[in-house]
């Protein structure tokens, strides 16, 4: 999707408390900021501090996949807050200014019949599929409630 159409990602978005969502978001310009795991840890702290149940996540060099379950906040507020807090921390660590994340994000509301554990395994296997590591235990920026 072209950058100028990012507003379309919000069209029809509904946040349902108690529902699980798979969220994906990308760094500005696909900049590989998180190839350095120490920079990625700043994003992890923002994830852990979010007002949701984090079920699984993987932070790739230039994007994030986050499986979460909402409580009272809207999906837009949760993701926006995480992106804002992590961007401040990343920019401070790298002694830089500017955008860390592209505007918007993609979300998938998990249906009741979908297996959350299987979805979590899929999420955390991203570094394997991308050829970044041969064993998931060799990749430092992931976690899942069940694994």
Residue-wise pLDDT for 89-116, tens only, equals 999 999 999 999 999 999 999 998 889 9
- pLDDT tens per residue, range 22-72: 999 999 999 999 999 999 999 999 999 999 999 999 999 999 999 999 999
Q: Is 119 helix (H, G, I), strand (E, B) or coil?
A: helix
CATH of the domain at 19: 3.30.70.1290
In a domain, 64, yes or no: yes
Task: Report the distance separating Cα 95 and Cα 29, nearest Å.
Answer: 18
Count of residues for the chain?
Answer: 147
pTM of the shown model: 0.89
In a domain, 6, yes or no: no
In the block, residue with structure tokens 């979300």: 107
So what's the pLDDT on residue 22? 98
So what's the pLDDT on residue 12? 57
Host domain of residue 44: 15-144
So what's the pLDDT on residue 122? 96
Burial code of 61-91, b = ≥16 C-beta within 10 A, e = fewer? bbbbbbbbbbeebebeebbbebbebbbebbb
In a domain, 52, yes or no: yes
Task: Report the distance separating Cα 70 and Cα 9, nearest Å.
Answer: 19
Give the number of other Cβ atoms within 10 Å of residue 104's Cβ.
20
In a domain, 20, yes or no: yes
Q: Is 101 helix (H, G, I), strand (E, B) or coil?
A: strand
- pLDDT tens per residue, range 8-24: 445 557 788 899 999 99
In a domain, 10, yes or no: no
In the block, residue with structure tokens 């699980």: 20
In the block, residue with structure tokens 């996540």: 57
Q: If residue 105 lies in a helix (H) or strand (E), which one and from where to where?
A: none
So what's the pLDDT on residue 112? 87
In a domain, 117, yes or no: yes
Tell whether the model's pLDDT for residue 142 goes beyond 50.
yes
Instruction: Indicate the number of domains in the chain.
Output: 1
């Amino acid at each position: 999707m072209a950058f100028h159409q990012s507003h379309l990602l919000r069209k029809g978005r509904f946040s349902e408390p108690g529902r699980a969502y798979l969220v994906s978001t990308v760094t500005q310009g696909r900049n590989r900021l998180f190839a350095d795991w120490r920079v990625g840890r700043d994003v992890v702290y923002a994830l852990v501090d979010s007002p949701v149940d984090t079920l699984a996540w993987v932070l790739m060099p230039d994007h994030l996949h986050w499986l979460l379950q909402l409580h009272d906040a809207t999906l837009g507020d949760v993701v926006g807050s995480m992106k804002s807090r992590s961007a401040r921390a990343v920019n401070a660590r790298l002694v830089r200014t500017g955008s860390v994340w592209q505007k918007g994000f993609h979300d998938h509301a998990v249906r009741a019949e979908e297996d959350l554990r299987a979805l979590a395994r899929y999420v955390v296997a991203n570094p394997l599929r991308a050829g970044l590591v041969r064993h998931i235990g060799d990749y430092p920026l992931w976690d899942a409630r069940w694994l």
